[in-house]
Structure 1
Amino acid sequence: MTLSEFEIRRCEKLVAEFISKRRPPPHIRPQLDLAFRINGQSIEIFEVRPDWRDKNRTLEQPVAKATYNKRKLNWKILWQRADLKWHSYQPRPEVTSVEEFLDVVEHDEYGCFFG
């Protein structure tokens, strides 16, 4: 089940504020930027870079993901390992709000999200 329109707008606002604080300076953004998308019940934060083989294409490198579970009323926090699969973020695998998710990503105890 997907998020409601109200929940999507709220998530967009919160994540956009988080992204705007972490984005690199404007002169670096053509080479490295930060973005997000909301798809279904998931929020994904990712880096955007030009493809080194074809500068007209861009590549997305996942940073963090949160998926909402309406039955449990919580968000599952995930990070992508070198095997390109999403794994539970073990220091804090679940939170109850988007704000908590963004706080976990910001503090990143184990260096899983931004290295």
Structure 2
Amino acid sequence: MKNTTIDINELTIKKFVESLRPEDKEIRKQLDIGYSYDGKVILLYEIRPFWNNPNEIQNNEFAKIRFYKSRREWNLYWMRASGKWEIYEPFPESSYLEKLTEIIKEDKHGCFFG
């Protein structure tokens, strides 16, 4: 029998990513949003073609959310220009994934969408 367990966290992040994606399918060929999730780490990234080779696609990570089971909380990170992850201030952690997705969408300090 097939395992039909539903991961509420993945449903939450999937719904969030869908809200960020461009509606126009033609625009999605130039810029789209994707994610990966392994049960404890969520990576959000832009999907776009290389400027000098439109046939090659690149994924540019812009946000990372990690669950720490021992503390029962999610931590939010942003990608610095150096390519290193940095904890997001002033709200780096939350017990609720939805709270962190709201912070990303608001992008008050321009850390995620410039």
TM range (shorter): 0.7 to 0.9
Show the counterpart of 1:14.
Answer: 12
Residues 1:57 and 2:56 aligned together: yes
Q: Which runs of 5+ in 2 are unaligned?
A: none
Q: How many percent of aligned residue pairs carry the same amino acid?
A: 33
Show the counterpart of 1:44.
Answer: 43
- Contact 1:91 1:109 survives alignment (8 Å): no
1:6 CA displacement = 5.3
Bigger-Rg structure (1/2): 2
SS in 2 for 1:11: helix
SS in 2 for 1:46: strand
SS in 2 for 1:104: helix
Deviation per CA, 1:25-52: give whole Å up to 9, x if none.
2220001000111035100111000122
SS in 1 for 2:108: coil
Give the distance between the partners of 1:76 and 1:57, measured in 2 at CA: 32
SS in 2 for 1:102: helix
Q: Which runs of 5+ in 1 are unaligned?
A: none
Over the residues paired in the alignment, what is the CA RMSD in angstroms? Answer: 1.7
